[in-house]
Amino acid sequence: MKAAIALYEVAAICHAAVSGYRAAVTGEAQPEWTDLTPDEQGGVIDWAAALLTGRTIGDSPECQIVKGIISVVRDEKKTLKYA
pLDDT at 52: 87
**CA gap 53, 83 in Å, rounded:** 5
Q: What is the pLDDT of residue 76?
A: 65
Domain of 29? 7-82
28-82 residue pLDDT tens: 999 999 999 999 999 999 999 998 888 989 999 999 999 999 988 876 665 544 4
Domain total of the chain? 1
pTM higher than 0.85:
no
Alpha-carbon span 3 to 39, nearest angstrom? 28
pLDDT(4) > 60: yes
Using the predicted structure, report yes or no on whether residue 12 has a pLDDT greater than 50.
yes
Is position 31 within any domain?
Answer: yes
Residue 56 lies in a domain: yes
What's residue 82's pLDDT?
A: 47
